[in-house]
Copies of this chain bind each other. A is one copy, B any other.
Amino acid sequence: MTAQRIRPLLDRLDTLQTGLYQKDFLLTWERSADELHAVLLIAEILEELYRANISTRVFNGGLAVSNFRDKSTRTRFSFASAASLLGLTAQDLDESKSQIAHGETVRETANMISFVTEVIGIRDDLFLGEGHKYMAEVAAAVEEGFRKGVLPQRPAVINLQCDQDHPTQTLADLLHLQQTFGSLDALRGKKLAMTWAYSPSYGKPLSVPQGIITLMTRFGLDVVLAHPEGYDLIPETLEIAARHAAAGGGSFRHVHSMEEAFRDADVVYPKSWAPYQVMEQRTALLRGGESEKLDELEKECIANNDRYRDWECSERLLALTRGGQALYMHCLPADITDVNCPAGEVAADIFERYRLATYREASHKLYVIAAMVLLTRFEHAGRVLGKLLDTATPRRPD
Contacts and interface: CB of A to CB of B under 8 A. Distances in A.
Nearest to A388: B397
Contacts of A366: 115-116
A354 interface: no
Contacts of A333: 99, 102-105, 108
A71 B84 contact: no
A48 to B, nearest CB: 11
Interface of A: 50-51, 55-63, 65, 71-74, 76-78, 80-81, 83-91, 93, 97-105, 108-109, 111-113, 115-118, 144-145, 148-152, 332-333, 339-341, 355-356, 359-360, 362-363, 366, 377-378, 383-384, 387, 393-397
A103 B71 contact: no
A84 B332 contact: no
A383 B398 CA distance: 9
Contact of A90 (B51, B59, B91, B384): B91
Contacts of A115: 77-78, 81, 363, 366
A60 B393 contact: yes
A363 B153 CA distance: 12
Contacts of A118: 396
Q: Which of A57, A60, A97 has the most CB of B within 10 A?
A: A60
A85 B50 contact: no
Contact of A112 (B55, B74, B87, B393): B74
Nearest to A71: B99
Contacts of A360: 149-150
A55 B63 contact: no
Contact of A60 (B51, B57, B340, B359): B57
Nearest to A85: B61
A200 to B, nearest CB: 10
B339 A105 contact: yes
A282 to B, nearest CB: 18
Nearest to A377: B396
Contacts of A363: 115, 150-151
B56 A61 contact: yes
A359 B73 CA distance: 33
Contacts of A151: 363
Contacts of A71: 97-99, 101-102
B80 A395 contact: no
Contacts of A76: 97-98
Given A71-B102, A333-B103, A363-B150, A63 B81 contact: yes
A184 to B, nearest CB: 22
